[in-house]
Amino acid sequence: MGIRYDWQEAEIRAIYNTALLELIYQAASVHRQYHNPRQIQVCKLISIKTGGCPEDCSYCAQSSRYQTEVKPQALLDKETVVNIAQQAKQNGVSRVCMGAAWREVRDNSQFDQVLDMVREVTALGLEVCCTLGMLTEVQAKRLEEAGLYAYNHNLDTSRNYYSTIITTRTYDDRLNTIKNVRQTNVTVCSGGILGLGESVEDRIAMLQTLANLCPHPESVPINILSQVKGTPLENQPDVPIWDVVRMIATARIIMPAADVRLSAGRAKLSHVEQALCFLAGANSIFSSDNGYMLTVTTPCPGYNTDQEMLKLFGLEVRPAFVGQKQVTA
């Protein structure tokens, strides 16, 4: 079956609710058609500008509306960022994602500095991704000219549930930024979070929105909520592993060529649980040298631990810029 952009909710619901082991088998089969199943891409997140964000995303440690453990920090300098990226590369990382706690990009000297970081980290031979909030088409073009490989902008949840989680921007704002990135050759990274209190129907609706974008996002991060003290979602219950596996498998089947990234919350999973996620079609992880993802609130496994895990599973790290496998069938 080829790649489709006309998925109906009922079809996605049927896939999501398939008997679990059958679902994993189907997802694993699709995964093998479109990707080298031995390879996992390891990514490193760098928070280039931390905290003090004016948005009210209810899950986020960096929103200025909530009292969290995060201390706001000014934009990092280029040398610091390049050093972290170099270190990451030596540890098998092939993609670096630079995150800024901004509502949107402004055309100021800070953006110029970010463009410089993109140039220098790209020159190291790494895939560079940025996640800087909302973006105009002109700004997307400037990032493209600097060599940016991917832009991350998550839908997070369904259109219906969105306003329960975030009130300071709309679902259409989100889709519009993705559209602006699509006017360039920068690839799109867009996914969501499990555990916001959403229903299975919300998960299906979000997957439908993503899978009916044409082309599909090249990268789909599946985050598991990291319950951050001080945020409105601090007391949300943990997401059952079976929901994580179902979400990954469904994303894999309906967006077969995309990279499906097992993102935030992975530190909570055992090796056995992560093995199931990889079987279900996840082919990327975030790994770290400082023990956390973007902020101190969310743990992330270390480079060495992850290298050992991948070795145990008989997997290898994917080099930068390795595209999807040619489909032979």
Residues marked active site are found at 53, 57, 60, 97, 129, 189, 261
Residue 225 CB, nearest distance to ligand SAM (Å)? 5
Only segment of 1-9, 57-65, 88-96, 282-290 that touches ligand SF4 (CB under 6 A): 57-65
CB 206 within 8 A of CB 158: yes
Q: CB of residue 130 vs ligand DTB: minimum separation in angstroms?
A: 9
Q: Which is nearer to ligand SF4, 89 or 103 (CB)?
A: 103
Q: Draw the binding track, 173-212, toward ligand DTB (x: CB under 6 A; -: no contact).
A: ------------------x---------------------
Nearest approach, Cβ of residue 223 and ligand SAM (Å): 4
SS percent in the chain: helix, strand, coil, step 5: 40, 15, 45
Residue 312, CA distances (Å) to 148, 248, 274 in order: 33, 21, 12
**CA-wise closest residue to 40 among 254, 287, 329, 256:** 287
Q: Which residue has the tokens 């940016």?
A: 148
Distance between CA atoms of 254 and 211, rounded to whole angstroms? Answer: 6
- When asked if residue 298 is in the footprint of ligand DTB (CB under 6 A), the reply is yes
Q: Which stretch in 133-141, 218-226, 273-281, 305-313 sits in contact with ligand DTB by CB under 6 A?
A: 218-226
Verify binding: residue 139, ligand SAM, rule CB under 6 A: no
Residue 97 binding result from ligand SAM, ligand SF4, ligand DTB, none, given CB thresholds of 5 to 8 Å by partner type:
ligand DTB
109 membership: H or E segment, kind and range: helix 109-123
Binding mask 61-90 for ligand DTB (x = CB under 6 A): x-----------------------------
Give the C-alpha separation, 315 to 141, whole Å. 36
Residue 299 bridge partners (DSSP): 292
In Å, how far are 90, 136, 166, 222, 239 from 170, measured between CA atoms? 40, 15, 8, 20, 25
- Determine contact, residues 305/238, Cβ cutoff 8 Å: no
What DSSP element (H or E) covers 255? none
CB of 268 to ligand SAM, least distance (A): 11
| Interaction between residue 53 and ligand SF4 (CB under 6 A) | yes
d(Cα 112, Cα 108) in Å, to the nearest integer? Answer: 7
Token output for 315: 């997997």
Q: Is 260 in the site for ligand DTB (CB under 6 A)?
A: no
Instruction: Select from 18, 41, 47, 62 the one that contacts ligand SF4 (CB under 6 A).
Output: 62
Q: Please tell me whether residue 193 binds ligand SAM under the rule CB under 6 A.
A: yes
Tell me: does residue 178 bind ligand SAM (CB under 6 A): no
Q: Exposed, middle or buried, 197 (CB in 10 Å: 0-12/13-18/19+)?
A: middle
- Could you say whether residue 228 binds ligand SF4 (CB under 6 A)? no
215: preceding bond cis by omega (within 30 degrees):
yes
Per-residue contact string for residues 87-106; x = within reach of ligand SF4 by CB under 6 A: --------------x-x---
- What does the binding site for ligand SAM look like in residue numbers (CB under 6 A)? 59-60, 99, 101-102, 131, 133, 153-154, 156, 193, 223, 225-226, 228, 264, 294, 298
- What does the binding site for ligand SF4 look like in residue numbers (CB under 6 A)? 53, 55, 57, 60, 62-63, 101, 103, 133
